[in-house]
Structure 1
């Protein structure tokens, strides 16, 4: 159990959060949200809630095996919702900087996004590297609901949760062994 004094959340597509919570994915690719306060992405915290983002999810940006999941993530969501439900928590294990297409292509079979979309993320803000953030993901034993704030909306990577939350009780999505296997596979692909 962990009690966070100033809880932080990392915003990511709801379909991506779902894949992280299913153990299908152990990393995210990030350059920063459109509304970032700075001009580049930075790992603001190494421990954070996973906050699903519903804007900008597009079926055609997912590999065929992952298409068709977005409607399920949208159930119960509306732009004027009064609460945000958090079901996951993560620890950043490593922030790997991707500078070229060869490295990005090497991990293609380890993520849910189309190669074209991953390439577009790499090419956006050409002078900035793409961050491949390896995550150790945990499912909350009881989802946490927090009142929706204007600060939670929009395209940004990080949000400060503006209310205190209960003590975290969670379990890892993958066992230590399962995570180790996937992490080694990723590292091998990048060598």
Structure 2
């Protein structure tokens, strides 16, 4: 199955998703998006690693440990090429307006509390919480970004639909379901 849509995310976050350490993506909207608001155009997308706005100070202990073990995750590449190896499916999308429930998502991502709450309050209170099931592709795809793909935006349309090939779930179905259901119970309590 081919997919032409990609969501930009910090390189280190992509790695945490690939390792099964993160099943949540907390999003606001990029300044290049209509009215700066995040929208979910499709429930399936490539994860597009970027270094845009990436900062170690915005990571929790698990994220910082990941960077210490792999400093290459924060090194800005000398080549403009981007390699994508993850396809995500949105299992649940929630617009969270109750800040008191925001901390429940901290256990399923590598952002620290301060960064998450800062995103929540950016422009206006509220944040999109995407619970995603990630899949590794059998053949990673490398592409050279176009001008239309640059800048502060969440979504990029790839020059062409890319075949995802064989997909291998990062987490076993049962493990993902347990984590997803615990998180959703906390967010909806």
Normalising by the residue count of structure 1, what TM-score does the alignment of the two structures yield?
0.89
Which of 84, 87, 96 lines up with 1:86 in the alignment? 84
In structure 1, the residue corresponding to 2:152 is in which secondary structure?
A: coil
Q: Quick check: 1:8–1:49 contact (8 Å CA) kept in 2?
A: yes
- The residue number in structure 2 matching 1:150 is 147
Matches of 2:179 and 2:164, distance apart in 1: 29
- The residue number in structure 2 matching 1:118 is 116
In structure 1, the residue corresponding to 2:57 is in which secondary structure?
A: helix
Matches of 1:47 and 1:163, distance apart in 2: 15
Q: Quick check: 1:10–1:49 contact (8 Å CA) kept in 2?
A: yes
Q: Quick check: 1:87–1:144 contact (8 Å CA) kept in 2?
A: yes
Q: Quick check: 2:51–2:76 contact (8 Å CA) kept in 1?
A: no
**5+ unaligned residues in a row in structure 1: which ranges?**
none
Normalising by the residue count of structure 2, what TM-score does the alignment of the two structures yield?
0.90
Q: Quick check: 1:35–1:155 contact (8 Å CA) kept in 2?
A: yes
5 Å-filtered alignment, 1:24-173, equals 24-70=21-67, 71-75=71-75, 77-78=77-78, 81-126=79-124, 129-173=126-170
Query: In the alignment, is residue 187 of structure 1 matched against residue 184 of structure 2?
Result: yes
Q: Quick check: 1:30–1:131 contact (8 Å CA) kept in 2?
A: yes
Instruction: Flag the structure with higher strand content.
Output: 2
**5+ unaligned residues in a row in structure 2: which ranges?**
none
Query: Could you tell me how far 1:3 is from its partner in structure 2?
Result: 2.5
Task: Please give the per-residue CA displacement for 1:41-67, whole angstroms capped at 9, x wherever unaligned.
Answer: 110111110001111111111012321
Instruction: Flag the structure with higher helix content.
Output: 2
Q: Residue 116 and residue 157 in structure 1: after superposition, are their counterparts in 2 closer, same or farther (change >3 A)?
A: same
In structure 1, the residue corresponding to 2:128 is in which secondary structure?
A: strand
33-42 or 131-140: which moved more?
33-42
46-55 or 160-169: which moved more?
160-169
Query: Could you tell me how far 1:164 is from its partner in structure 2?
Result: 4.0
Question: Superposition RMSD on alpha carbons, in Å?
Answer: 1.7
In structure 1, the residue corresponding to 2:182 is in which secondary structure?
A: helix
Query: Could you tell me how far 1:165 is from its partner in structure 2?
Result: 2.5
Task: Give the length in aligned residue pairs.
Answer: 185
